[in-house]
Protein backbone atom coordinates (compact mmCIF):
# COMPACT_ATOMS: atom_id res chain seq x y z
CA UNK A 1 0.00 0.00 0.00
CA UNK A 2 2.81 2.43 0.82
CA UNK A 3 4.34 1.69 -2.53
CA UNK A 4 1.02 2.32 -4.22
CA UNK A 5 0.62 5.67 -2.53
CA UNK A 6 4.14 6.67 -3.45
CA UNK A 7 3.49 5.61 -7.02
CA UNK A 8 0.33 7.69 -7.01
CA UNK A 9 2.27 10.72 -5.85
CA UNK A 10 4.95 10.19 -8.45
CA UNK A 11 2.64 9.72 -11.41
CA UNK A 12 -0.11 12.16 -10.49
CA UNK A 13 2.00 15.09 -11.60
CA UNK A 14 -0.21 16.73 -14.23
CA UNK A 15 -2.37 19.21 -12.36
CA UNK A 16 -5.15 19.32 -14.94
CA UNK A 17 -8.35 17.32 -14.50
CA UNK A 18 -7.94 17.16 -10.76
CA UNK A 19 -9.98 18.74 -8.06
CA UNK A 20 -8.06 21.04 -5.69
CA UNK A 21 -7.58 18.21 -3.22
CA UNK A 22 -5.81 16.17 -5.87
CA UNK A 23 -8.68 13.82 -6.61
CA UNK A 24 -8.98 12.83 -10.22
CA UNK A 25 -12.02 13.79 -12.20
CA UNK A 26 -13.60 11.57 -14.80
CA UNK A 27 -12.32 13.86 -17.54
CA UNK A 28 -8.81 12.38 -17.08
CA UNK A 29 -10.12 9.50 -19.18
CA UNK A 30 -11.06 9.80 -22.86
CA UNK A 31 -14.80 10.08 -23.40
CA UNK A 32 -16.74 7.15 -24.76
CA UNK A 33 -18.70 4.07 -23.77
CA UNK A 34 -17.01 2.51 -20.76
CA UNK A 35 -15.50 5.73 -19.43
CA UNK A 36 -17.67 5.70 -16.31
CA UNK A 37 -17.27 1.98 -15.70
CA UNK A 38 -13.50 2.27 -15.85
CA UNK A 39 -13.32 5.45 -13.82
CA UNK A 40 -15.58 4.32 -11.01
CA UNK A 41 -14.70 0.64 -11.14
CA UNK A 42 -10.95 0.93 -11.45
CA UNK A 43 -9.94 3.87 -9.32
CA UNK A 44 -10.94 2.45 -5.95
CA UNK A 45 -7.48 1.01 -5.28
CA UNK A 46 -5.22 3.14 -7.48
CA UNK A 47 -5.79 6.19 -9.57
CA UNK A 48 -6.19 5.94 -13.30
CA UNK A 49 -2.57 6.87 -14.01
CA UNK A 50 -1.56 3.19 -13.96
CA UNK A 51 -4.20 2.63 -16.60
CA UNK A 52 -3.43 5.70 -18.67
CA UNK A 53 0.25 4.92 -18.93
CA UNK A 54 -0.39 1.33 -20.07
CA UNK A 55 -0.54 0.30 -23.71
CA UNK A 56 -1.89 -3.22 -23.89
CA UNK A 57 -3.60 -5.38 -26.45
CA UNK A 58 -7.18 -6.48 -25.95
CA UNK A 59 -6.00 -9.92 -24.79
CA UNK A 60 -3.61 -8.35 -22.32
CA UNK A 61 -6.29 -6.07 -20.89
CA UNK A 62 -8.62 -9.03 -20.64
CA UNK A 63 -5.96 -11.06 -18.83
CA UNK A 64 -5.25 -8.12 -16.56
CA UNK A 65 -8.84 -8.28 -15.33
CA UNK A 66 -8.15 -11.81 -14.04
CA UNK A 67 -4.86 -10.71 -12.53
CA UNK A 68 -6.58 -7.83 -10.74
CA UNK A 69 -9.12 -10.25 -9.28
CA UNK A 70 -6.73 -13.07 -8.39
CA UNK A 71 -3.80 -11.08 -7.08
CA UNK A 72 -5.30 -7.82 -5.96
CA UNK A 73 -8.72 -8.73 -4.64
CA UNK A 74 -10.81 -6.90 -7.18
CA UNK A 75 -14.43 -8.03 -7.20
CA UNK A 76 -14.90 -10.06 -10.40
CA UNK A 77 -16.61 -7.99 -13.06
CA UNK A 78 -19.99 -8.98 -14.44
CA UNK A 79 -19.46 -10.33 -17.98
CA UNK A 80 -21.32 -7.38 -19.51
CA UNK A 81 -19.25 -4.85 -17.55
CA UNK A 82 -16.08 -6.68 -18.35
CA UNK A 83 -16.87 -6.49 -22.03
CA UNK A 84 -17.51 -2.75 -21.87
CA UNK A 85 -14.39 -2.15 -19.80
CA UNK A 86 -12.06 -4.29 -21.89
CA UNK A 87 -13.44 -2.74 -25.10
CA UNK A 88 -12.86 0.71 -23.70
CA UNK A 89 -9.34 -0.05 -22.50
CA UNK A 90 -8.34 -1.71 -25.77
CA UNK A 91 -9.77 1.17 -27.80
CA UNK A 92 -8.13 3.95 -25.87
CA UNK A 93 -5.08 2.32 -24.35
CA UNK A 94 -4.09 -0.17 -26.99
CA UNK A 95 -0.53 -0.69 -28.23
CA UNK A 96 -0.95 1.65 -31.18
CA UNK A 97 -2.31 4.59 -29.23
CA UNK A 98 0.29 7.19 -28.60
CA UNK A 99 0.37 9.20 -25.44
CA UNK A 100 -1.23 12.62 -25.73
CA UNK A 101 1.47 15.09 -26.57
CA UNK A 102 3.83 12.34 -27.67
CA UNK A 103 5.53 13.08 -30.96
CA UNK A 104 7.47 10.60 -32.96
CA UNK A 105 10.97 12.08 -33.06
CA UNK A 106 11.67 10.35 -36.34
CA UNK A 107 8.80 12.12 -38.10
CA UNK A 108 9.43 15.63 -36.82
C1 LIG B 1 -9.20 -4.22 -5.39
C2 LIG B 1 -8.26 -3.23 -5.79
C3 LIG B 1 -8.08 -2.95 -7.28
C4 LIG B 1 -9.06 -2.67 -8.22
C5 LIG B 1 -10.55 -2.52 -8.00
C6 LIG B 1 -8.35 -2.48 -9.47
N7 LIG B 1 -7.00 -2.63 -9.29
FE8 LIG B 1 -5.58 -2.38 -10.72
N9 LIG B 1 -4.13 -2.75 -9.35
C10 LIG B 1 -4.34 -3.06 -8.01
C11 LIG B 1 -3.07 -3.27 -7.37
C12 LIG B 1 -2.87 -3.61 -5.90
C13 LIG B 1 -2.08 -3.10 -8.36
C14 LIG B 1 -0.57 -3.23 -8.23
C15 LIG B 1 0.08 -1.94 -7.92
C16 LIG B 1 1.57 -2.13 -7.83
O17 LIG B 1 2.11 -2.94 -8.59
O18 LIG B 1 2.16 -1.43 -7.04
C19 LIG B 1 -2.77 -2.76 -9.59
C20 LIG B 1 -2.14 -2.47 -10.79
C21 LIG B 1 -2.78 -2.14 -11.96
C22 LIG B 1 -2.13 -1.85 -13.22
C23 LIG B 1 -0.63 -1.78 -13.45
C24 LIG B 1 -0.15 -3.10 -13.97
C25 LIG B 1 1.33 -3.05 -14.23
O26 LIG B 1 1.72 -2.74 -15.34
O27 LIG B 1 2.09 -3.29 -13.26
C28 LIG B 1 -3.10 -1.61 -14.14
C29 LIG B 1 -2.91 -1.26 -15.62
C30 LIG B 1 -4.36 -1.76 -13.46
N31 LIG B 1 -4.14 -2.07 -12.14
C32 LIG B 1 -5.58 -1.63 -14.08
C33 LIG B 1 -6.81 -1.76 -13.42
C34 LIG B 1 -8.09 -1.66 -14.10
C35 LIG B 1 -8.27 -1.41 -15.59
C36 LIG B 1 -9.04 -1.83 -13.15
C37 LIG B 1 -10.54 -1.84 -13.33
C38 LIG B 1 -11.09 -2.88 -14.17
C39 LIG B 1 -8.36 -2.03 -11.87
N40 LIG B 1 -7.01 -1.99 -12.10
C41 LIG B 1 -9.00 -2.21 -10.66
C42 LIG B 1 -5.56 -3.13 -7.39
C43 LIG B 1 -6.80 -2.92 -7.97
What residue spans define the domains of the chain?
Answer: 2-13+32-92
**Model pLDDT, residue 1:** 57
Task: Taking residues 16-30, report their average pLDDT.
Answer: 81
pLDDT at 63 over 60: yes
| Residue 14, CB-side half-sphere exposure with 13 Å CA sphere | 13
Percent share of the chain, pLDDT over 90: 65
Task: Identify the architecture of domain 2-13+32-92 in CATH.
Answer: Orthogonal Bundle (1.10)
Task: Taking residues 22-47, report their average pLDDT.
Answer: 93
Which residues sit with their C-beta closer than 6 Å to ligand 1? 3-4, 7, 41-42, 44-46, 50-51, 54, 64-65, 68, 72-74, 85, 89
**Model pLDDT, residue 102:** 65
**Residue 39 in contact with residue 29, Cβ under 8 Å?**
yes
Q: Which is more confident, 84 or 20?
A: 84
Tell me what the pLDDT averaged over the chain comes to.
84
What is the spatial distance between Cα 25 and Cα 57, in angstroms, rounded to a whole number? 25
Mutate to test the pocket of ligand 1, among 26, 44, 46 (most ligand atoms within 8 A of CB): 46
Beta bridge partners of 18: 24
| Cα 21 to ligand 1 centre (Å) | 22
**Model pLDDT, residue 100:** 62
The gap between the terminal CA atoms of the chain, to the nearest Å, is 41
Amino acid sequence: MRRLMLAAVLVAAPAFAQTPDGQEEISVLPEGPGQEEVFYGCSACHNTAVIRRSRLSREQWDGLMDWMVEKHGMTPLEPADRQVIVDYLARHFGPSQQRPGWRNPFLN
